[in-house]
Amino acid sequence: MGTPIPPPIIVPPADPGGACGNCWGVGKIFGDGDTPDEIWLNFSGINKGPNWVIADGDPIEGLFQLLQVMIAPCSYLATEIDWLIDCTFESDDTTVGVLAATGPIVFQAFGNEACEVFVENKTDDHFTGGSCLLIIPEVN
């Protein structure tokens, strides 16, 4: 009959708006308030790169809402028709990534300070240049 399959490991989700102690809380950069369950990212100035092909489409531009990831309260995610967008506030870095539905990386920012609100694109393949402003709502 074979080896039995072990039961799945259940990871309990964080409550929406769960605490991200890296950037929110007493004495933290984003203030003493609670962690928001949403943030907004505003992308601008991204251009077609040297390996751009027509299937890649136009660069991402404008304002996007990201929702807090239930099991990772310092991470936010949006799945749009054309984009997968993520932002994570690590203890020593703020990362932002955008992956096009067609596959190429559109925007990638890493190696920043913790709890940054402005990051620049480090991708120079299918897309290049540009920046992202992180808009953090206040939560009481």
Per-residue pLDDT tens over the stretch 95-125: 999 998 888 899 999 988 999 999 999 999 9
Write down the residue that tokens 């990772």 correspond to: 72
Q: How many CB atoms lie within 10 A of CB 62?
A: 8
* Segments making up each domain of the chain, as ranges: 38-135
Q: Give the contacts of 65 (CB within 8 A, at least 6 positions apart).
A: 38, 39, 40, 78
pTM attached to this predicted model: 0.84
Tally the residues of the chain: 140
Per-residue pLDDT tens over the stretch 60-90: 999 999 999 888 899 999 988 788 999 999 9
